[in-house]
Amino acid sequence: MRRTLFALALFGSGCIAGSAAVQRDDRVLRELTRQERWAQQALDARPTRDQLDAIRGSDYGSVGAARKEFQKLIMAVDRGTWIRETAAEMLREERDPQLAAEFDRGGRLRIEAVQAADELADALADARGGLTVSDLKPAFDALRKAQASEDRLAKQAGPLKLASSPVPVPRPFVEAAAKLVDTNPESAKELDRLPPEDQTKIRAKMADLDRSKEEQKRATPLIANAPPTATSLSPSTSTSTEPPREAEAPSTTLKIAADAASMIAKKAPKSITLREDGLFALSYDDADYLVDPDGKLVRKENPEK
């Protein structure tokens, strides 16, 4: 109970006084309700789909308001964590159905707040001057505290059957951070302020964005120079009388995409060899990984073979 009262003091609700444990519990319950109400207010104010489009379009007023709403949503994430920890601690002393309901509501509010904040961060990342990597640090900190809280609750639950509320997957805010650094490479140094795990995920996402850009660049000239289809030809230019063409030979160029891109991103192979069967062998210490010209893994072979 002492830990609960200290947490409430940190949240600005003041010290809880009183000689009776029931009186203290009543005040904590009122504080739980108040924190829940503030978290719900932040969710109710989240931008609509049209407002998100205006933010992506860099509308000045929309971007300014969205930055404030983003901060409130991150606070709502922290409120959800506090609600769950406080309710769980009180449940160890008293099996109150109201406390159990508050515990579950805290988890639902936190998940909704994380999802809303992630969606808003993605829109702000598309806007000019809408967001920086430093702005995302409180968001990543809130995720880290939420996950640490869930791990702690799982260990301390004991006989209590408490429903878990894990952080959503894929990791929120990673794509928004990757977009920001991709657009403003000079902001990459700000990644050092984030936890190492988040840095790794963001850099992996940046690599995905780079690969997507390269694939689009390669696909654009192919589409522009593509021959007209049979349905687009007039009757006078129909090629139905032409003899069938021979099948094209397999490509002798490997696209760094799909499975090949993932493997190379993790560790560079010792060699990449074109085989007679048209597959490419990515040689590693443990085995040779055979991929097709599009980078899709076909099979794995031991070096002896």
**How confident is the model over 221-265, as pLDDT tens digits?**
555 555 555 444 444 444 445 555 544 555 667 777 777 777 787
First vs last C-alpha separation in the chain: 65
CA atoms of 218 and 221, how far apart (whole Å): 6
The two tokens of residue 204 are 């992996």
> Is the full-model pTM beyond 0.85?
no
In the sheet that 288-291 helps form, which strands lie side by side, from edge to edge?
271-274, 280-283, 288-291, 297-301
**Judging by beta carbons within 10 Å of its beta carbon (0-12, 13-18, 19+), is residue 27 exposed, middle or buried?**
middle
Q: Does 305 or 201 have the greater pLDDT score?
A: 201
CA atoms of 48 and 217, how far apart (whole Å): 33
CA atoms of 232 and 66, how far apart (whole Å): 48
Q: Residues 82, 28: contact at Cβ < 8 Å?
A: no
Report helix, strand and coil shares of the chain as percent, to nearest 5.
60, 5, 30
Give the model confidence (pLDDT) of 2-28 as tens digits: 344 434 444 444 333 333 344 456 888
Give the model confidence (pLDDT) of 50-86 as tens digits: 999 999 999 999 999 999 999 999 999 999 999 999 9
